[in-house]
């Protein structure tokens, strides 16, 4: 969007600080940001349109258009736009994705085959070859630096020849190989020219930027260099000096200069540290503000936490609560008792006993005269909760209702009536609960199960069915600490960090596809011992007919050819409720030995005699998901057997799957998953709104995250609407004004 140029009269009074940083004391209170805070869009981020209005009034010079940099006319402006660059801030924030140390380029004769390296030389000759049978173009150049000759080749890019001529001095970067002769295939390249500006491209640590079509590396490097010459030293540092000092951070000007053109790698490290801090700081700041708002705004319901229902419930439980469960229950009760609205995330490994904690919380709502509801992502899971809770609470005289879309129409109407009239105390359901015509009499607690499968809007919708109800979000996938702090940093967190004592072990085996018979033998052995189990077939998407077909085919084959003598059943997400109930019940009463299942059993299914499990194509699952699935068989006195089948050679899955085989600690597995797949993939879905960082790496920057979080929360504690920190406020708007998406209630 258009960014107006601002003359200096828009700035406040200039003050040079000791560090050589320049700060601008803004005139008065901008005040605008806080208006956004009351905007209904806040939970989805500040709308872009709001921000435009704000931008024209900003006093921050890095919001200048890049067109004000010397040499950037309309054409170059368009080119920069292709990279998403409009302002000085965008440009200086366009960080290199790697660096080349060109102060120290190895002679070609010393290059090592098999490694990514930078080389420099002169084009000796070049030519375009067309292979006869494959009709492929190969462009090849011989390059020498007098120490040796290397051949650079580009496949199917005949236009490459237009870029070079014999005698050019070039820099190439790519993987060096020795296929008879020394070569480098499809390298990145730059042509060195003899002009005065070469010092930014040569003889130093050189930044390499991501490019878009026909935007050249040298152009972007030159433009950024120019911006640094014109602006560095003049940019106001939005992080207050106290925070910089106590966290040992360099100034913004130093950081921006050295992230692009580091003097050496030490300076680069210092620069990166500062900029990573910024990324975390503003994210945590937004979370801190949201958390603060949640705490101060609406008055919630003060529940009575020592009533007879919750007391009796604990008495009738067939087991003793673990210390971790007790602690977490205390935390929840404290919140529910308080008038403040609860926003709490309940975490615990699979099998740690989250269901009783939820049940108890719901009873606290009921004994206080209100209704509670629990929303699950699938019907199977909702049904499972419904039956379990009904069983657990059968002596308590509680009215529990189930609302899922596949109920017969008449029943649905009558269930909705009981919810509206208040003749249902606890309501279990799926997305069906969100429908407009579902009205509660007096809902005071919302429990959201498997919360990462729901979007922010859905959670808000449910919350709005009550008047400031307490909210408990439950995650069955252990969330690594960094992710919890960045994605759910505005929620209070309770962790059940131990499993009930009599939990049985699960032994996990990784078996290669080629030795499939071994797996079948193991299964037969378990069935002889009277056990039941699952064969899990991965479907990426239950709605893809082709995939479902593969699962069904597999079932037919197992039933007829492999386990002809056994009772084999099939369950998948596209069966209707009656069919599903029927199959589940057959399995529960042990009229089925082996249940072939798609991932619908991933969550929540709880059948004690089902103790073995074979997971097909295990490499298609994330480790956390595998762990979740494995959790289904860790719930009885019998030892569990989990067999992971994978075509190890073809998929290269050995290392990853070994990490799963070797530990049963869900938090460790989650960390590993995060490291291997990155935050975006961690939950298996992208839409949960994990923030994207440019520099920060959530797997390695935990220390900085903690520093930034502390600083941000402290600031909000003493200055919740950031009126005393206007530069911080302005930067927060600049960063997150654009569709700031993050998981939040
Ligand atoms: P999850 O945290 O995966 O949702 P559940 O709540 O389903 O775990 O509990 C798993 C199993 O452990 C259930 O069968 C439940 O009855 C049982 N359980 C829960 N808490 C305890 C406990 N303190 N001692 C023994 N068994 C327990
Ligand atoms: Mg559960």
Pairing of strands 343-348, 470-475: parallel
pLDDT > 90: percent of the chain: 47
* pLDDT tens column, 174-210: 999 998 899 999 998 888 877 655 677 877 899 999 9
Q: What is the DSSP letter of 617?
A: T
* pLDDT tens column, 705-733: 999 999 999 999 999 888 899 889 888 88
The CA distance from 387 to 382, in Å, is: 9
The pair phi, psi for residue 727, each rounded to 5°, is: -70, -35
Helix, strand or coil for residue 359? helix
Residue nearest to atom 20 of ligand 1 (CA): 353
375 near 433, Cβ under 8 Å? yes
Pairing of strands 400-403, 426-429: parallel
Tell me which residue of 147, 194, 151, 187 sits closest to 169, measured CA to CA: 194
Q: Is 353 in the pocket of ligand 1 (CB under 6 A)?
A: yes
**Packing angle of the helix pair 217-231, 252-260 (nearest 10 deg):** 160
> What's the pLDDT score for residue 40?
31
The tokens for 369 are: 């005269």
The pair phi, psi for residue 205, each rounded to 5°, is: -75, 120
* pLDDT tens column, 642-699: 999 998 888 778 888 998 999 888 888 888 888 877 766 665 544 455 667 889 988 8
Tell me which residue of 699, 653, 706, 643 sits closest to 674, measured CA to CA: 699
Q: Is 606 in the pocket of ligand 1 (CB under 6 A)?
A: yes
Q: Is 384 in the pocket of ligand 1 (CB under 6 A)?
A: no
- How would residue 3 be classed by pLDDT, with cut points 50, 70 and 90? very low
Q: Is 630 in the pocket of ligand 1 (CB under 6 A)?
A: no
Ligand 2 center to residue 361 CA distance, Å?
Answer: 14
Q: Is 23 in the pocket of ligand 1 (CB under 6 A)?
A: no
- Helix residue ranges, H only, 247-322: 252-260, 265-296, 308-316
Ligand 1 center to residue 362 CA distance, Å?
Answer: 17
Pairing of strands 13-16, 22-25: antiparallel
CA distances from 64 to 7, 58, 91, 165, 192 (A): 9, 10, 10, 39, 31
166 near 124, Cβ under 8 Å? yes
Indicate the range of 8-22, 87-101, 495-509 predicted with least confidence.
Answer: 8-22
- Helix residue ranges, H only, 60-196: 74-82, 88-92
* pLDDT tens column, 34-73: 223 333 333 233 333 333 333 332 345 777 889 988 889 8
* pLDDT tens column, 127-146: 998 887 778 889 999 999 99
The CA distance from 737 to 33, in Å, is: 9
CA distances from 669 to 238, 588, 662 (A): 38, 30, 10
The CA distance from 618 to 472, in Å, is: 32
Q: Is 569 in the pocket of ligand 1 (CB under 6 A)?
A: no
The CA distance from 207 to 97, in Å, is: 8
> What's the pLDDT score for residue 30?
26
The CA distance from 472 to 75, in Å, is: 53
The tokens for 560 are: 């007829």
The tokens for 706 are: 């903690």
> What's the pLDDT score for residue 194?
72
Ligand 2 center to residue 465 CA distance, Å?
Answer: 24
Q: What is the 3-state secondary structure (H, E, C) of 40-75?
A: HHHHHCCCHHHHHHHHCCCCCHHHCEHHHCCCCCHH
Q: Is the pLDDT of residue 23 over 60?
A: no
Better-scored residue on pLDDT, 22 or 298: 298
Q: Is 348 in the pocket of ligand 1 (CB under 6 A)?
A: yes
- Helix residue ranges, H only, 297-318: 308-316
Residue nearest to atom 19 of ligand 1 (CA): 353
The CA distance from 284 to 708, in Å, is: 7
Ligand 2 center to residue 645 CA distance, Å?
Answer: 26
Cα dihedral sign for 282, 285, 291, 296? negative
- Ligand 1 pocket: which of 316, 355, 501, 625 to mutate (most atoms <8 Å of CB)? 355
Indicate the range of 20-29, 275-284, 500-509 predicted with least confidence.
Answer: 20-29
pTM of the model: 0.72
Tell me which residue of 94, 100, 63, 64 sits closest to 219, measured CA to CA: 94
Tell me which residue of 552, 581, 544, 549 sits closest to 568, measured CA to CA: 552
Ligand 2 center to residue 388 CA distance, Å?
Answer: 11
The CA distance from 87 to 738, in Å, is: 14
Ligand 2 center to residue 582 CA distance, Å?
Answer: 22
> What's the pLDDT score for residue 108?
95
Residue nearest to atom 26 of ligand 1 (CA): 500
Measured from the Cβ of residue 547, the count of other Cβ atoms closer than 10 Å reads 17
* pLDDT tens column, 340-390: 899 899 999 888 899 999 999 999 999 999 999 999 988 878 888 898 899
Helix, strand or coil for residue 192? strand
The CA distance from 674 to 684, in Å, is: 11
Query: How many residues are present in the chain?
Result: 745
Half-sphere exposure of 664 (CA within 13 A, CB side): 20
């Amino acid at each position: 969007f258009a960014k107006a140029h601002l003359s200096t009269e828009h700035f406040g009074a200039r003050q040079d600080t000791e560090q050589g940083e320049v700060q601008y004391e803004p005139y008065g209170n901008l005040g605008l940001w806080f208006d956004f805070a009351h905007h209904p869009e806040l939970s989805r981020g500040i709308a872009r349109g709001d921000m435009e209005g704000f931008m024209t009034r900003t006093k921050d010079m890095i919001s200048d258009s890049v067109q004000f940099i010397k040499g950037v006319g309309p054409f170059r402006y368009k080119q920069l736009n292709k990279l998403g660059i409009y302002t000085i801030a965008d440009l200086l924030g366009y960080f290199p994705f790697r660096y080349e140390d060109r102060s120290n380029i190895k002679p070609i004769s010393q290059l090592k085959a098999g490694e990514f390296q930078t080389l420099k030389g002169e084009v000796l000759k070049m030519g375009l070859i067309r292979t006869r049978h494959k009709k492929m173009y190969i462009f090849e150049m011989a390059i020498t630096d007098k120490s040796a000759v290397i051949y650079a080749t580009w496949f199917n890019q005949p236009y490459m020849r237009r870029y070079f001529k014999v005698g050019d001095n070039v820099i190439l970067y790519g993987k060096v190989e020795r296929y008879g002769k020394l070569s480098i295939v499809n390298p990145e390249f730059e042509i060195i020219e003899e002009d005065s500006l070469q010092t930014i491209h040569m003889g130093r640590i050189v930044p390499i930027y991501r490019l878009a079509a026909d935007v050249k590396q040298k152009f972007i490097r030159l433009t950024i260099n120019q911006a640094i010459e014109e602006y560095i030293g003049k940019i106001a540092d939005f992080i207050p000096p106290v925070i910089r000092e106590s966290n040992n951070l360099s100034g913004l000007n130093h950081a921006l200069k050295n992230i692009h053109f580091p003097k050496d790698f030490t300076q680069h490290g210092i620069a990166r540290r500062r900029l990573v801090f910024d990324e975390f700081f503003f994210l945590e700041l937004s979370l801190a503000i949201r958390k603060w708002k949640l705490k101060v705004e609406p008055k919630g319901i003060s529940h009575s936490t020592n009533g007879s229902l919750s007391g009796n419930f604990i008495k009738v439980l067939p087991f003793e609560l673990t210390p971790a469960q007790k602690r977490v229950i205390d935390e929840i009760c404290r919140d529910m008792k308080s008038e403040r609205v609860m926003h709490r995330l309940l975490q615990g490994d699979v099998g740690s006993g989250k269901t009783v904690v939820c049940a108890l919380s719901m009873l606290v709502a009921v004994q206080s005269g209100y209704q509670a509801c629990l929303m699950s992502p699938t019907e199977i899971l909702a049904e499972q909760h419904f039956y379990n809770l009904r069983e657990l609470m059968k002596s308590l005289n509680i009215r529990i209702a189930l609302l899922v879309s596949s109920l017969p129409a008449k029943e649905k109407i009558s269930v909705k009536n009981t919810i509206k009239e208040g003749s249902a105390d606890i309501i279990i359901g799926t997305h069906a609960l969100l429908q407009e015509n579902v009205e509660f009499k007096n809902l005071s607690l919302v429990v959201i199960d498997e919360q990462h499968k729901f979007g922010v809007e859905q959670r808000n919708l449910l919350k709005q069915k009550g008047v400031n109800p307490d909210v408990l979000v439950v995650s069955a996938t252990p969330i690594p600490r960094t992710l919890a702090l960045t994605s759910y940093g505005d929620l209070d967190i309770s962790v059940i960090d131990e499993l009930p004592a009599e939990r049985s072990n699960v032994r996990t085996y990784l078996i290669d596809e080629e030795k499939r018979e071994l797996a079948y033998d193991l299964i037969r052995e378990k069935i002889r011992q009277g056990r039941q189990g699952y064969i899990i077939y991965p479907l990426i998407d239950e709605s893809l007919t082709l995939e479902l077909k593969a699962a069904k085919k597999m079932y037919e084959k197992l039933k007829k050819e492999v386990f002809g003598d056994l009772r084999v059943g099939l369950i998948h997400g596209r069966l209707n409720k009656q069919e599903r109930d029927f199959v589940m019940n057959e399995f529960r009463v042990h009229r089925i030995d082996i249940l072939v299942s798609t991932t619908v059993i991933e969550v929540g299914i709880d059948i004690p005699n089902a103790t073995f499990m074979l997971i097909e194509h295990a490499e298609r699952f994330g480790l956390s998901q595998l762990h979740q699935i494995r959790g289904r068989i860790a719930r009885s006195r019998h030892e569990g057997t989990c067999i992971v089948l994978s075509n190890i050679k073809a998929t290269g899955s050995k290392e990853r799957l070994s990490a799963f085989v070797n530990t049963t600690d869900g938090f460790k597995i989650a960390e590993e998953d995060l490291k291997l797949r990155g935050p975006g993939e961690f939950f298996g879905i992208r839409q949960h709104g994990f923030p994207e960082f440019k520099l920060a790496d959530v797997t390695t920057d935990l220390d900085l995250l903690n520093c930034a979080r502390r600083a941000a929360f402290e600031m909000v504690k003493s200055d919740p609407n950031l009126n005393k920190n206007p530069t911080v406020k302005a930067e927060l708007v600049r960063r997150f004004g654009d569709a700031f998406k993050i998981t939040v209630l």
